Amino acid sequence: MILRFGENYWLDFSTSSIKKAVKRRIVPITFLITFLSLLHLSAQDPQITDSRGTPVPEILLKTISFELQDASIREALIIYSEQTKFYLNYNESIIPSGRQISISLKNVPAIAVLQKILEGTGIDFIISKSGQIVLVRSKDKVVQQKYTVSGFVNDGESGEALIGTNIYIETSNFGCSSNVYGFYSLTLPAGKYTLVYSYMGYELKKTEIHLNQDVRQNVELKTIALLGDPLEVTADADENMVSNTEIGTIKFSPRELTSMPALFGEQDILKSLHFLPGVTLSREGDSGFNVRGGNSDQNLVLLDEAPVYNAFHFFGFFSVFNSDAIRDVKLIKGSAPPKYGGKLSSVLDIQMKEGNLKEFHANGGIGTIFSRLTVEGPIVKDKSSFIVSGRRTYADVFTRLFAKGEVRQSTLYFYDLNLKANYRVNDRDRLYLSGYFGRDALGFSGVFRNYWGNRTATLRWNHLFNNKLFLNSSLIYSKFDYSMKIEPEEDSPDDETVEIKNNIYAFTVKEDFQYFLDARNTFNFGLEYIFYSFLPGQVTATGESAFDVVTGRQKAQDGALFAAHEFKATERLKLNYGLRYSHFLINRKGDSFNFTDIEDLPEFEFRGKENVSYGGLEPRITANYKLNGSSSLKIGFSRNYQNIHMLSNSTAGTPIDVWQPSSQRVKPQIADQISMGYFQNFGNNNYDFSAEVFYKDMKNQVDFKNGANIVLSTLFETDLTFGVGRAYGIEFLLKKRTGRLSGWVGYSLAKAERQFDDINQGHPFPPKFDRTHDFSVVMLYQLTSHWKFSANWVYYTGNAITIPFGKYEVNGQIIEAFTERNAFRMMAYHRLDISFTYTTQNGNFWNFSLYNAYGRRNAYALLFRDNEDNPLRLALFSFVPSISYNFNF
Amino acid sequence: MNCKSKKKYSPFHSSALILLFAFSIMVSSCFRDPVNVDLSEYGTRVVIQGTIADNAGPHFVKITETIPYNSTEDFPAVSGADVSIQDGQGNIVKLLETEPGLYQASNFYGIPERTYTLTAIIKGKRYTASSGMPKPLLIQNVMMQRISPGVNDYELSLSFQDHPGIDNFCLINVYKNGYLHNHYLYQDEQTDGQEVVFDDFNVSFNDNDVATFELISFDRASYEFFNSLDMVVDAEDRELLATFIPVTTYNPTTNLNNGAFGYFSAFAVRRYTRIVN
């Protein structure tokens, strides 16, 4: 056999020569074969060692078959572990959730299946020294590609944006909620997901998306039929009351109020607030509300972002908010996020309806006090719409109801007008223009006339820079003015007239950015700049004692920068922390006086010009820790500054309800509040329970000194004194959300205190509105598909007042001896209201209400009379029935 | 500078009153029922009225007690109290009870520009108050003017010189034929060092009427007390006001401590009497 290997060799076929020849060739051949085999083996290296070169245990080299359809990675790993009987060590948190994978492998080494499961997850396996498998995040792998799904969520029928819709991935807890304009943005790793859109009162919507590029997903939700849906207060739907970070926040929409009984049958957003724990009304029918022991001027009331300086009509019996024009109401009594600032105790954020984008609608009603009409519809279908909503009183009916013989000609009316238009320029830009105009007029026999009213206008522009950065830019104008004129009666010899005026204007520029970085991080930052102009008082008197007192017009600027980060630290812990820096500048002209003769010259200071500035940092932190799927703990801390003050804190409609800015003497009010809460859903999400404790510390509180001449004191600051305040308490709320019978029970046990060196000899005393116990029950029962029954019962501790406990004589004059400030408690207040609502087939409804159904004469005031055995108790309302008819088409 | 006489209510008060008239229409048609309120927990308090004038006396301190609000009894006098006045210069006088509740100091000269302190020990509790007797304001002139020609009705006006550089407060009492017709409180914030004229006392004098003016100069604390007495709104007006506007005048500002009501005032008095013709 001749083997030729080139010319240099020829084989001798003799055995010995063959042997020699083969011997000479075997070495290189063996070497080649070994080398090739080794090459082959090294090509199989990943299958038998980990990325560090440690060999894989033999058990995982066995071949298996593995089938899996649409399972999450976590599930796949569990099944894998069971099947191979090999334990995998790993930290749960590194396993991405929500991804779904499908695997179909036959007869491959088990380790190959694990690699397939981990493909694209950024996770590697490592063989430990003891031969165990550990799963770790691979550091040198390329970052998983992420994409964003974003869009707007709207009501399917009207096109109105749905605020606070919850959007989350079906199998996990990652999600977000839509902002005030219905916009949401969620950034996730590439993959296939089922997104759920959930909003209370609307049908749940699920959509599947393939996130292999940025997706724009606008969604419309369908309402659940109103007739079947019981009234409820959504403190953020189902489990999001559990997950939402906003502690002490309550949201509701006005349609939920329509069946609740109300005074004179006129449903009122502001007055309904007091059925919730932590919120109290100053007095029956009175203006203002108090949140957690704070004064009634410490609430920031916003209507489409415009501050409303005096939110009540006619001495506080009705608020200025017409429910027909309102879409959403949010009350934050705990730590408000940094984008809100300016008031100590609460934020009441009210959003007007935008107007039906699809078709024309009108609704309205006639009630005991108001007649109402709202018209809305598209200007250009699905692109632009408007809404006009107005209501006015029946002046004559009202006065006839209360008039006694004395009242001849009198003027009494008040009205509210809400206007709004919006325009969707394109997919990235929207414009909104809203306005509110309201007025109260009160006049008596030509002797005096009283006018006051609010006016607001807001121009907003939503702009989407990209699918992660949203801007809301606003220009806001707000004004409140008051005037009163007193003239002598026609046949009176006097010719003195007195005219008192005050007003406040504010012009605001606001830029509010939201940056949705990814599923775990959202940033909110921006600025707010307010230009104020105050006229705290102008008094002009003509006639015998003519004089003119004009307090200097005061200009002020309130600028703030804010930044907040919402961070889902872990599956259970969500943090929302931020900072607001606010700076206040006041520029005041001198006061001017001009008098010919002064009667009863009051003591006042002539104030010269003044320029003062104040600034401060307001940290805000809230945290939400989910204990399990149905309960959570929340904690919050906030600091707030307040630079405008309403010193009188009394009934609206008097000339002393004046807003004044901080000054050299009147420093900004400061409040620090810490709160903690526990939330629990149970009974299959039918019931919600929450308990919250709070402690609030207030500084630079303002009050009048004893003997102050009130009307002028608000003008001249001489009789003001400063002190501190404190409030603490615990609030409970239990809600039943579904079923024929629904409603809630709220209870609060709290204490509020004030302490001023100049008042009550420096001893602490309770403010008038301090309420030890405050208990409310609201119940709704769907009797039939047409009839609904509703009842409210409230019970609360009476006001703290100062009363005369005795009398004595000085210099021949008999004088009343008063108790310490607010040392006496009026009798407890309790009242039951009931109402029946009948809804016709086409959605019109009648409401029959009985306010104060068992006619308890709750003390509005106590009058102590000389030489009378007992004081008189003044009570306002008892058994007040009312009917209202509401239509819509 | 002319000072108008004081009406009971300033235009500001009346504006506030009228303003609330409409609301009171509504309120007056609400329900009013007498209710039983237990005031016993507030007990009684001591009421001390003490004065010392710039003369030899007698100076009086009257001590009574408060009575329950709805009581029709007399104001009870407080006997057996240990009352004394000292003048800050080491002189002290003990007052003797001449009638139940009335304590008297005689032969003790009150001297302007001294600070007097009253001490009363009642049932073991000690009450004190201090008052500075100022330099007296002196009546310069009393002028007379016919109201209208031909009629014998006269208006009187009073003038005095304010002391420059110091705070001056006084009470002017106007008597006609021995009866007190009016009183006015004066403070010198706008009129320091000037000649002050008071006219329009709302009293007309006829021939042979006896007009007496009493100018009582005292310190700031006394002024504030008498001012708050004037500001005290009586129960009926309070019905309209207090429920709607926070009434901040509660107990008159007193210079007594320990929860006592009343006042202690050291004053210098000047009188001027004139028969009108």
Whole-number mean pLDDT of chain A?
81
Q: Nearest Cβ partner of A447 from B18, B44, B253? A: B18
What b/e sequence results for A42-79 when a residue is b if at least 16 CB atoms lie within 10 Å of its CB, and e otherwise? eeeeeebebeeeeebeeebeeebebebeebbbbebbeb
* Confidence class for position A603, pLDDT limits 50, 70, 90: very low
User: Does A225 lie at the interface with B, CB-CB under 8 angstroms?
Assistant: no
The rounded percent of chain A whose pLDDT value lies above 90 is 33
Q: Within 13 Å, how many C-alpha atoms sit on residue A258's CB side?
A: 26
Looking at residue A472, what is its pLDDT?
95
- Separation in Å, CA of A188 to nearest CA in chain B: 59
- CA neighbor of B264 nearest in space, from B217, B220, B222: B222
The residue written with tokens 């006496």 in the block is A824
Q: Chain A residue with minimal CA distance to B190?
A: A603
Q: Within 13 Å, how many C-alpha atoms sit on residue A200's CB side?
A: 25
Output the six-digit token pair for A453. Answer: 């009213």
Q: State which amino acid sits at residue A462.
A: N
Helix (H, G, I), strand (E, B) or coil at A315: helix
Cβ of A707 within 8 Å of Cβ of B67? The answer is no
Chain A hits for B67, Cβ within 8 Å:
806-808
Q: Chain A residue with minimal CA distance to B225?
A: A707
Cβ of A815 within 8 Å of Cβ of B261? The answer is yes
Q: Is the dihedral of CA A251, A255, A259, A260 positive or negative?
A: positive
Q: Chain B residue with minimal CA distance to A767?
A: B246
User: Quick check: pTM over 0.80?
Assistant: no
Q: Cβ-count burial of A745 within 10 angstroms (0-12 exposed, 13-18 middle, 19+ buried)? A: middle
Chain B hits for A706, Cβ within 8 Å:
228, 248-251, 253
C-beta of residue A164 within 8 angstroms of C-beta of residue A182: no
A551: phi then psi, degrees, rounded to nearest 5: -75, 145
Cβ of A811 within 8 Å of Cβ of B15? The answer is no
Output the six-digit token pair for B235. Answer: 């129960």
Output the six-digit token pair for A850. Answer: 């009985």
Residue A651 has pLDDT above 50, yes or no: no
CA A375, chain centre distance (Å): 27
Looking at residue A408, what is its pLDDT?
52
Chain B hits for A817, Cβ within 8 Å:
45, 66, 251, 261
Looking at residue B82, what is its pLDDT?
94
Chain A hits for B200, Cβ within 8 Å:
none
Q: CA gyration radius for chain A?
A: 36
User: Does A407 lie at the interface with B, CB-CB under 8 angstroms?
Assistant: yes
Taking the CA atoms of residue A490, residue A491, residue A495 and residue A499 in that order, the dihedral angle to the nearest 10 degrees is -30
Cβ of B250 within 8 Å of Cβ of A808? The answer is no
Average pLDDT over residues A266-285: 81
Cα→Cα distances A266→A263, A372, A777, B259, Å: 6, 11, 19, 49
The string of pLDDT tens digits covering residues A375-395 is 999 999 889 999 999 999 876
Looking at residue A244, what is its pLDDT?
56
Looking at residue B4, what is its pLDDT?
38
Average pLDDT over residues A854-883: 81
User: Does A650 lie at the interface with B, CB-CB under 8 angstroms?
Assistant: yes
DSSP string, A735-778: EE-SSSEEEEEEEEEEEEEEEETTSGGG--B--TT--SEEEEEE
Residues 6+ apart with CB under 8 A from A383: A357, A423, A424
Cβ of A600 within 8 Å of Cβ of B33? The answer is no
User: Does A811 lie at the interface with B, CB-CB under 8 angstroms?
Assistant: yes
C-beta of residue A442 within 8 angstroms of C-beta of residue A450: yes
C-beta of residue A482 within 8 angstroms of C-beta of residue A440: no
Looking at residue A123, what is its pLDDT?
84
Q: The complex's ipTM?
A: 0.85
Most A CBs within 10 Å: which of B6, B13, B17, B30, as the mutation test of the A interface? Answer: B30
Chain B hits for A445, Cβ within 8 Å:
none
Chain B hits for A498, Cβ within 8 Å:
11, 15
The rounded percent of chain B whose pLDDT value lies above 90 is 39
Chain A hits for B249, Cβ within 8 Å:
706-708
Output the six-digit token pair for A248. Answer: 């002490």
C-beta of residue A567 within 8 angstroms of C-beta of residue A545: no
Bridge partner list, B67 = A807
DSSP string, A78-101: HHHHHHHT--EE--GGGS--S--E
The string of pLDDT tens digits covering residues A521-532 is 999 999 999 999
Count the helix, strand and coil residues of chain B and give each as a percent rounded to the nearest 5.
Answer: 15, 45, 45
- Separation in Å, CA of B98 to nearest CA in chain A: 19
- Separation in Å, CA of B277 to nearest CA in chain A: 30
Weakest-pLDDT range from A14-18, A392-396, B220-224: A14-18
Average pLDDT over residues A505-532: 94
Helix (H, G, I), strand (E, B) or coil at A603: coil
Most A CBs within 10 Å: which of B24, B35, B255, as the mutation test of the A interface? Answer: B35
Residue A251 has pLDDT above 70, yes or no: yes
Helix (H, G, I), strand (E, B) or coil at B137: coil
Distance CA A586, CA A557 (A): 6
Cβ of B69 within 8 Å of Cβ of A704? The answer is no
Cα→Cα distances A850→A263, A267, A659, A790, A853, Å: 8, 13, 36, 11, 6
Distance CA A68, CA A70 (A): 7
Bridge partner list, B161 = B195
Q: Nearest Cβ partner of B245 from A404, A710, A712? A: A710
- Separation in Å, CA of A154 to nearest CA in chain B: 46
Q: State which amino acid sits at residue B46.
A: V
Average pLDDT over residues A355-372: 88
Residues 6+ apart with CB under 8 A from A556: A531, A532, A533, A534, A584, A585, A586, A587, A643, A661, A662
User: Does A406 lie at the interface with B, CB-CB under 8 angstroms?
Assistant: yes
Distance CA A161, CA A304 (A): 14
Residues 570-599, chain A, touching B (beta carbon < 8 A): 597-599
The string of pLDDT tens digits covering residues B72-83 is 888 899 999 999
Looking at residue A700, what is its pLDDT?
95
Q: Chain B residue with minimal CA distance to A712?
A: B12
Residue A170 has pLDDT above 60, yes or no: yes
Looking at residue A42, what is its pLDDT?
42
C-beta of residue B39 within 8 angstroms of C-beta of residue B236: no
Cβ of B70 within 8 Å of Cβ of A868? The answer is yes
Cβ of B69 within 8 Å of Cβ of A809? The answer is no
Q: State which amino acid sits at residue A709.
A: N
Distance CA A592, CA A744 (A): 55
Looking at residue A872, what is its pLDDT?
81
Distance CA A817, CA A136 (A): 80
- Separation in Å, CA of B35 to nearest CA in chain A: 6
Output the six-digit token pair for A845. Answer: 């409804």
Output the six-digit token pair for A883. Answer: 């009917």
